[in-house]
């Protein structure tokens, strides 16, 4: 009997795209909690022109495909996984998101390519998509989002975390330092 491909969702920034600035995530999270007085379940959604401009500039730090992306494409080509690109990027980043999907040839690699066009909280958007697609695995780089997804996840979902230099001390069962390590894990665990 032929095995069904594993259904794996991938975040964009910091996962499919290399983003060295993601090391600042814990600093930005602390800033959000202290100075913006945002609850831990609230992420910043840019509304003003300056906020949207800042958000657009901030996301330019995702500047190339992550090492390991070619291996993801190979797993898709070999029918080992069905890959889904799921990003919490807001509507203000639509143009940049579309540019990246073209550069990555994403529509030929991923079964679906989804972004947060209705400006929902990123963790809520991802949770809804993960449940709708009934994913087996989701790969994320933002610890705050992982914590929120893990609180409400169904038992069969495994969330893999690409950590960064400052967050590496946080204990988590499925913690990796790169997309290549994620692919190594998938190949070993699922005997690809």
Q: Looking at residue 78, what DSSP letter applies? A: T
pLDDT in tens, the chain (192 residues): 567 899 999 999 999 999 877 665 555 555 555 555 555 567 878 888 888 777 677 777 787 999 999 999 999 999 999 999 999 999 999 999 999 999 999 999 999 999 999 999 999 999 999 999 999 999 999 998 999 998 877 778 999 999 988 888 999 999 999 999 999 999 999 987
Interacting residues of 153 by C-beta distance below 8 A, sequence separation 6+: 127, 130, 159
Q: What is the pLDDT of residue 29?
A: 57
- Residue 142 has a pLDDT of 92
- Look at the pTM and tell me if it is higher than 0.85: yes
Q: Which residues lie below 8 Å from residue 27, measured CB to CB, with a gap of 6+?
A: 166
- Non-local CB neighbours of 170 within 8 Å, separated by 6+ positions: 143, 163
Q: Which token pair is 61? A: 């730090």
Give pLDDT, residue 55: 66
Residue 151's pLDDT is what?
Answer: 87
Q: Give the pLDDT of residue 38.
A: 56
Which domains can be identified in the chain, with CATH numbers?
6-189 (3.40.50.1000)
């Amino acid at each position: 009997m032929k095995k069904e491909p594993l259904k794996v969702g991938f975040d964009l920034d910091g996962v499919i795209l290399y983003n060295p600035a993601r090391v600042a995530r814990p600093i930005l999270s602390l800033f959000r909690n202290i100075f913006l007085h945002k609850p831990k379940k609230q992420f910043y959604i840019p509304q003003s022109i300056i906020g949207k401009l800042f958000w657009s500039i901030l996301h330019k730090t995702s500047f190339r495909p992550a090492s390991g992306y070619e291996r993801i494409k190979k797993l898709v080509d070999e029918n080992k996984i069905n890959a889904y690109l799921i990003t919490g990027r807001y509507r203000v980043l639509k143009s940049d998101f579309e540019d990246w999907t073209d550069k990555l040839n994403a529509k030929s690699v991923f079964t679906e390519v989804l972004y947060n066009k209705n400006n929902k909280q990123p963790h809520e958007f991802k949770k809804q998509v993960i449940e709708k697609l009934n994913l087996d695995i989701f790969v994320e780089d933002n610890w705050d989002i992982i914590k929120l997804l893990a609180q409400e996840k169904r038992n069969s979902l495994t969330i893999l975390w690409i950590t960064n230099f400052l967050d590496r001390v946080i204990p988590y069962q499925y913690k990796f330092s790169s997309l290549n390590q994620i692919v190594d894990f998938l190949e070993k665990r699922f005997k690809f």
